[in-house]
Amino acid sequence: QKQVVSFLDGNASMKALLGGKGANLAEMTRAGLPVPPGFTITTEACLHFFKIGNRISEELFEQIETALQQLEKQKGQTFGHASNPLLVSVRSGSVSSMPGMMDTILNLGLNDVTVQGLASLTNNEKFAYDCYRRLMQMFGNVVLGVESYHFEQLLHRLKEDAGVDHDQDVTAEGWKSLIEAYKTCIRVKTGQDFPQHVYEQLRMAVEAVFKSWNNQRAQIYRRLNRIPDEQGTAVNIQSMVFGNMGGECGTGVVFTRNPSTGENTFFGEYLINAQGEDVVAGIRTPLAIAALQDEMPAIYEQLLGASKLLEMHYKDMQDIEFTVENNKLYLLQTRNGKRNAQAALKIAVDLVHEGVLTKREAVDRIEVSHLDQLLHRGIDEQAITDVLAKGLPASPGAAVGQLVFDADTAAEWSRAGKTVILARNETTPEDIHGVIASEGVLTSRGGMTSHAAVVARGMGKPCVCGCEEIRIVPSEKRMMAGTKIVEEGDWITLDGATGRVINGAMPLHEAKMTDELLVMLKWADEIRTLKVFANADNPHDAKIARQLGAEGIGLCRTEHMFFSPTRLPVVQRMILAEDKEERLQALAQLLPMQQTDFDSMFEEMDGLPVTIRLLDPPLHEFLPNLEELQKRHAQLMYEEEASDEERDENAHLIRKVQALHETNPMLGQRGCRLGIVYPEIYDMQIEAIFRAASRCIDRGIRVLPEIMIPLVGHANELKILRELVEFVAEQVLGKEKLRDCPYKVGTMIEVPRAALTARQIVAHADFFSFGTNDLTQMTFGYSRDDAEGKFLTHYVDQKLLPHNPFQVLDTEGVGQLIDIAVNTGRCVKPSLKTGICGEHGGDKDSIFFCHLTGLDYVSCSPYRIPLARIAAAQAFI
């Protein structure tokens, strides 16, 4: 089996086998570009190496020797020859680009003998010994594991003793003495000598590259970027060209377009008389590529020509490494250049206008996860000096404000016109008014899908959560980061995109829908079939959603309307009512409030569907905290001036709260169970919806209400509540007006039983909306709050699960339930409308699944809509 492939025999399509670098070197060779000859040891060889216990098999080494002999013929040089030595580089090259993760060794093949050969061959002793000391440095570090600072120290001392500032001013004698020092250093640190035998060097170098696949840096990078461990890395063996032979030589990197703006201008840097990584290592300050036009005009033209050719060939902006040896240009690498989100958009749009890409190709190329960068305010990076800590980047964007440690203060200060940042150990639904009032949220506990994170993302507010480096002490109104103390009222800045918590108020720049983004979104809309709706609980969010292209509201959670400080007491009175009479009184008070909410939602979404979910959470979420009530009770007992009435009232409250206590509220009296036991609650909500609809119709607004019943598990639940909706609708609107209000009634599918009995449930439903948050909880039997950051993190780390199922939809299990429900539902009722409205609605992989399963829409938080529009188009492509 062939485990070694010459650059002459490979091509770009062999990336999986040859790695990115090897495949592109072969492709450039085929295109007739000046690439130093060489060959690639395949990723399969690497996997075999691991399989047989980190060993290079005899068979593989023979193939390497054969390829090397061919290379010797091509170059007219011999590996290890005393007077005409072949030198090579040993370069790692993985399939997915892993910048800086693996190390490269240059000038391999030099030893005490061949270095003299190289010196006389090139008539340049200084150059030859410079190459040799570089080899020892790289080999010593990468292969033998000697920390590079040992070598750097010796080099530094040499230059100091010789009184020179720059490496290129060191003499041949200087390099020779350094080489002796390096030899000793290697012997002392490792107990072995630098290998003089060149084949020994080669074998060790290849082994080291293979093994570097499993070093810690590489593993962490792979996990972060979801690159499979089973890929393995290829190794490229390439004949050396020298940029460090004198003034007619150099090395550099160019981008075919500007990677930070996307502008179509040649961009890059180079160094005269330098080798390999000198440019990036910052040993000397490189020159802008424009200077090469004056210094080496012919080379510049040739480089420009090759760059254009490569860009056309790969149909994308290229990042190219080159070296000039004695006025001859060589290309050493090309790859699709990294770029920021705005540059990516501009380049893709420009390439379409230049006729290089089709619109589809351009849309397909957008990395949707990067769009987050664009849709939020950002921090002026130059200004950042004092980063206090780093937490999880839970909701992108930048926020500046004065620090507060409780929701009430946040609300109070914000009313007084201050901008605030709310810092809590963790947030609960009771903090919601504080979250609304602040610019951003910081928590010290909780994961990417903790309450704070979900709520903040939904509102498009920056959030950093799980910032464990910070100790928040709300009772003292301050927090500690290391030795630093930040107090209430101090200014801080949050960077939700990176998780940074920054001391002080940083200057921000506004987010903008750039022209390129608008163009790209238009193209995406032309392609996609999946609709994109928004989760929005208030008119403000609805407005933003519509601006960002929402085609309707997929989820309006009515309970969020209950949390405002003026309404909560009424809601509490409703819940704590002694009898129906009292409850009806409180509900009557809530009715006009809800009606205004819906009224403005309908107005904002004129002509588009608005899906309203009736009350869902367990009632105790609205009640005062039991512990606090008990504390207050104790206080009242000792306070002389407390009246009996006060005491009684508090005791009564305690009894009520205790009575409503549930062992497991998630599985308790919530959702439609609440609506069935207390029909007057849903009755009020439905009445408010249709009254608002009626008022809107009078004003000439087109209303399309879709009433959603949560947590249905049995068809009879939906049957009763549908009858209630129909009854109230007719009562409020009358037969006549009903015709102008084509409403729908449907259910959230979030209990596995509902999915399994879709055949029965669909009889009473116009639509199914998959509430994938709860459906995931109930399908796995994981309580989300008890899973994330705890055993679930462990599961993902140990690869028991491929992803956190609350972030990426579990297509295997939860997805199967969705599939069953959609298919049986449609079988019975072809007009059934289907969509999802969980957190997953804004996740690319999950959107792909929704498209494939044939759902009609996904619903996500307003700020993720552009992302979802593009992902939906990509799913179609």
Among 3, 24, 29, 104, binds ligand ADP (CB under 6 A): 104
Compute the least distance from the CB of residue 345 to ligand ADP, in Å.
Answer: 26
433 is catalytic: no
Can residue 212 be called a binding residue for ligand ADP (CB under 6 A)?
Answer: no
CA distance 346 to 515: 9
Of 244 and 409, the one with the shorter C-beta distance to ligand ADP is 244
Can residue 71 be called a binding residue for ligand ADP (CB under 6 A)?
Answer: no
Kindly give, in sequence order, each residue whose CB lies less than 8 Å from that of residue 503, ignoring residues fewer than 6 positions away. 385, 386, 387, 388, 484, 486, 492, 493
Single out the segment in contact with Mg ion by CB under 5 A; choices: 149-157, 160-168, 498-506, 750-758: 750-758
Select the binding partner of residue 114 from Mg ion, ligand ADP, none (C-beta < 5 to 8 A, by kind): none
Of 92 and 342, the one with the shorter C-beta distance to ligand ADP is 92
Can residue 774 be called a binding residue for Mg ion (CB under 5 A)?
Answer: yes
Of 20 and 393, the one with the shorter C-beta distance to ligand ADP is 20
Residues 214-243 that bind ligand ADP (CB under 6 A): 238, 240-241
430 is in an annotated binding site: no
Q: Please give the helix or strand (H or E) that residue 705 lies within, else none.
A: strand 704-709
Of 333 and 414, the one with the shorter C-beta distance to Mg ion is 333
Q: How many amino acids of this chain bind Mg ion (CB under 5 A)?
A: 4
Of 135 and 688, the one with the shorter C-beta distance to ligand ADP is 135
Residues 754-773 that bind Mg ion (CB under 5 A): 771
Compute the least distance from the CB of residue 108 to ligand ADP, in Å.
Answer: 10
Q: What is the total residue count of the chain? A: 877
Compute the least distance from the CB of residue 409 to Mg ion, in Å.
Answer: 31
443 is in an annotated binding site: no
864 is in an annotated binding site: no
**DSSP of 562-589:** G-STTTHHHHHHHHH-SSHHHHHHHHHH
Of 379 and 836, the one with the shorter C-beta distance to Mg ion is 836
Write the interaction track for ligand ADP spanning residues 326-365; mark x where CB under 6 A is met and - where it is not: ------xx--------------------------------
Compute the least distance from the CB of residue 151 to ligand ADP, in Å.
Answer: 17
Kindly give, in sequence order, each residue whose CB lies less than 8 Å from that of residue 743, ignoring residues fewer than 6 positions away. 690, 693, 704, 705, 706, 707, 725, 729
Kindly give, in sequence order, each residue whose CB lies less than 8 Å from that of residue 224, ignoring residues fewer than 6 positions away. none
CA distance 132 to 52: 33
Q: Please give the helix or strand (H or E) that residue 114 lies within, else none.
A: helix 114-122
Can residue 89 be called a binding residue for ligand ADP (CB under 6 A)?
Answer: yes
509 is catalytic: no
Per residue, what are the HEC states of 129-151? HHHHHHHHHHHHHHCCCCCHHHH
Burial 738-758 (b: 16+ CB within 10 A, else e): beebebbbbbbbbbbebbbbb
Single out the segment in contact with ligand ADP by CB under 6 A; choices: 42-50, 100-108, 344-352, 573-581: 100-108
Single out the segment in contact with Mg ion by CB under 5 A; choices: 236-244, 326-334, 356-364, 603-611: 326-334
Catalytic residue among 48, 150, 376, 451: 451
Among 9, 65, 277, 603, binds ligand ADP (CB under 6 A): 277
CA distances 369 to 363, 545, 611, 761, Å, are 13, 19, 27, 36
Compute the least distance from the CB of residue 29 to ligand ADP, in Å.
Answer: 13
772 is in an annotated binding site: yes
Compute the least distance from the CB of residue 35 to Mg ion, in Å.
Answer: 13
Residue 145 in contact with residue 186, Cβ under 8 Å? no
Q: Give residue 686's identity as a one-letter amino acid code.
A: I
Select the binding partner of residue 771 from ligand ADP, Mg ion, none (C-beta < 5 to 8 A, by kind): Mg ion
Q: Can you read off the two tokens belonging to residue 405?
A: 């440690």
Select the binding partner of residue 277 from Mg ion, ligand ADP, none (C-beta < 5 to 8 A, by kind): ligand ADP
Write the interaction track for ligand ADP spanning residues 285-324; mark x where CB under 6 A is met and - where it is not: ------------------------------------x-x-
Compute the least distance from the CB of residue 777 to Mg ion, in Å.
Answer: 9
How far from chain centre, in Å, is Cα 658? 43
CA distance 614 to 682: 7
Select the binding partner of residue 276 from ligand ADP, Mg ion, none (C-beta < 5 to 8 A, by kind): ligand ADP
262 is in an annotated binding site: no
CA distance 205 to 19: 18
Select the binding partner of residue 240 from ligand ADP, Mg ion, none (C-beta < 5 to 8 A, by kind): ligand ADP
By DSSP bridging, strand 744-749 and strand 767-770 are parallel
771 is in an annotated binding site: yes
Residue 706 in contact with residue 743, Cβ under 8 Å? yes
CA distances 857 to 767, 807, 823, 826, Å, are 11, 18, 15, 15
SS3 content of the chain, % helix, strand, coil (to 5): 50, 15, 30
Of 134 and 346, the one with the shorter C-beta distance to Mg ion is 134
Among 333, 594, 757, 804, binds Mg ion (CB under 5 A): 333
Residue 241 in contact with residue 267, Cβ under 8 Å? no
Among 10, 36, 174, 446, binds ligand ADP (CB under 6 A): 36
CB atoms within 10 A of CB 292: 25
Of 236, 213, 223, which Cα lies nearest the Cα of 106? 236
Kindly give, in sequence order, each residue whose CB lies less than 8 Å from that of residue 748, ignoring residues fewer than 6 positions away. 613, 708, 709, 710, 711, 712, 768, 769, 770, 771, 774, 837
Residue 396 in contact with residue 510, Cβ under 8 Å? no
Of 842, 806, 753, which Cα lies nearest the Cα of 447? 806
Can residue 20 be called a binding residue for ligand ADP (CB under 6 A)?
Answer: no
Select the binding partner of residue 774 from Mg ion, ligand ADP, none (C-beta < 5 to 8 A, by kind): Mg ion
Catalytic residue among 837, 840, 850, 851: 837
476 is in an annotated binding site: no
CB atoms within 10 A of CB 587: 24
Which residues are annotated as catalytic? Answer: 451, 837
Residue ranges binding Mg ion (CB under 5 A): 333, 750, 771, 774
Name the binding residues: 557, 613, 750, 771-774
Name the binding residues for substrate: 557, 613, 750, 771-774
Residue ranges binding ligand ADP (CB under 6 A): 36, 89, 91, 100, 104, 106, 238, 240-241, 276-277, 321, 323, 332-333
